[in-house]
Amino acid sequence: MFANQALRPWWYLLVAVLLALLPWASPNPYYVNLAQEVAILAIAGIGLNILLGLSGQISLGQAGFFAVSAYGSALLSLRLGWPLAASVMLGVIMSGLAGLVVGSIALRARTHYLAMVTLAFGFIVGILAQRWTGFTGGSMGLVGVPPLNWGDPRSAARNFLWTAAALFLAVQITSDFVMQSRSGRVLRTISESESFAATVGINAAAWRVGAFVVSAMLAGLAGALFAHQSGYVSSDAFNLDRSLAMLIVVVVGGLGHRYGPVLGAVFLVAMNQAIADLYTYSNFIFGALLLAVMVFLPDGLSGLGALVRRKRPASLRRNEAGPGAPGVGDIVNLPLIAVARGEPLLQLQQVSKSYFGLAALSDVSMTVRAGTVHALIGPNGAGKSTLINTICGLYRADSGVIRLAEHDITQWPAHRRARLGLARTFQNLQLIGGLSVIENVMLGVPDRGGVVKAFVSWLCGRPFESEQRARARALLGFLGIEGFADVSPGDLSYGHRKLAELARALAGQPQLMLLDEPIAGINEEESRLIAAGIGRLREAGVTILLVEHDMPFVMSVADEITVLDYGQKIAFGAPDAVRANPVVVEAYLGVETA
């Protein structure tokens, strides 16, 4: 939708007009009530879609957040006489606080354990709602909750629909922006690989909790609307069936798709009407439908359109000007830390790391000078990857000191080190399958424009994130793979994926790059391209710490080499000196080369 982004605000305006006219287009008030149900379900579904479809966190306790806000808003307006706007707002905030607590607990849980945590929360809230009768009324419920009818009982259904529809549209627009912006890319990244997310400067823990809070608040908004829809709130409305209904909405509609929740909500409301006479068998019917969707339509109803629009991957269009075409000075132009060329940039002092008593690194000390290519070599199991992971913050050193320029980063988390200008690539490729190649590269581009500015530009149909996209495209052109910008990483050859990951690492304008086997699995042409790129990056002042087994490649690009064996440094020096070192020859090279 919105192939022409300039039409975006007009499409939203058209939808708003249609929703406003819906009460008069309805053949009878009953359909107005059904439209109200769709709006409430869609709002809650959007929240769960952000949580599950984007960040990959499953929740079976959304009914708990729904209930917290419903009771909070109902009691504030019924017993304390608060204005409806204030009571609804506070009810939503209460759900958000509950989401903050559950989300913080969820940081220690994953997959089915997380599902159990949220399920327990939903059960606890449901039991409290049923048994705390003096507060909630239990199964008898709260009667006389002020309805959201704008003070006009005769037009109550219409006014409530307008309110629910306006809130739904606002939530949908915000969700659309999230799906198409850096926020959506970050959440998808966290879902696929939190360790990779940390290396591009993403605080995965904060984003995971944030997704929980947003999801809880949207469930709370739906709960508050539910409370003020009919003026009656009973504990029977907040059982597991409510959570399962929200799950059905997002799964049937299409997890991670922009319009999945509203399609799922329409489907669920329509199915409830269609099988109203088969209530006894409704759970079996919905179970069978869920199973059918998961088997035959894994992308839900939203995936039907994607199947029609699916295109074959674009062919590679080489950059005829070669690897230096975009101008490396434009690619590396914002150093985060100032160190003169040749001066120490990265310093390790007696760094050690053990796993269950087995030493992977033993008192390793080394210095990487600014503006150089420093290679780290050694046999398999020497501790090279452990050292790289310790430097970038994925592992914590047991002892020793790691300094980046004047900063002691020994205890810093990985995302904070990345923001200082430390980037890395992985031996096992880390590209996000749910994003295009250019969107993967954009993950590394610093976001300096601001969310509000980007949202306004996006909503008005103007280009947004244009600077980030242009920079990512230039980086792909620099490495000769711009023709693959808009395809999925899964459609690339292994070598091209290596180049895409290198472009992503370059996107953050790094002061220090950690390259873990950058030419493993690629052909000679691509190896020459990477070697040329490394040389130009060195000329631009980027410092590179390189792990690689291809000795001709290492000897051709490295200024200095450190050799590890069994977690200990056994040699250091210029390539010729290391190649001639008898200790290195015996431990790693095997034969002395000329």
Can you give the three-state secondary structure of 355-404, one letter per residue?
ECCEEEEEEEEEEEECCCEEEEECCCCCCHHHHHHHHHCCCCCCEEEEEE
350 C-beta neighbours (distance < 10 Å), count:
13
Rounded mean pLDDT of 410-430? 89
What percent of the chain lies above the pLDDT cut of 70? 92
Q: Are strands 568-573 and 399-404 parallel, antiparallel or unpaired?
A: unpaired
Q: Cβ distance 545 to 376 under 8 Å? A: yes
- Find out whether 248 and 286 touch, Cβ atoms under 8 Å: yes
Q: Which two tokens stand for residue 73?
A: 């808003």
Q: Whats the size of the chain, residue-wise?
A: 594
Mean pLDDT score of the chain: 86
The pTM for the full model equals 0.88
Report the relative pairing of strands 568-573 and 560-565 from DSSP bridges.
Answer: antiparallel
- Thinking of the domain 328-436+509-589, which architecture would CATH place it in? 3-Layer(aba) Sandwich (3.40)
Q: Smallest Cα–Cα separation from 250: which of 40, 445, 44, 391?
A: 44
Contacts of 474 (CB under 8 A, 6+ apart): 326, 330, 331
Q: Is 337 exposed, middle or buried (0-12, 13-18, 19+ CB in 10 A)?
A: middle
Check whether 591 has a pLDDT greater than 80: no
DSSP conformation class of 570: E
pLDDT digits (tens, 9 = 90+) for 439-487: 999 998 877 767 888 899 899 988 888 888 888 998 888 777 888 999 9
DSSP letter at 429 equals -
Domain spans, the chain = 5-237, 328-436+509-589
Q: What percentage of the chain reaches a pLDDT higher than 90? A: 47
Cα dihedral across residues 369, 375, 377, 382: positive or negative: positive
Structure tokens at 592: 């002395």
Write out pLDDT tens, residues 295-341: 888 888 887 765 555 444 444 444 333 344 444 445 544 445 567 78
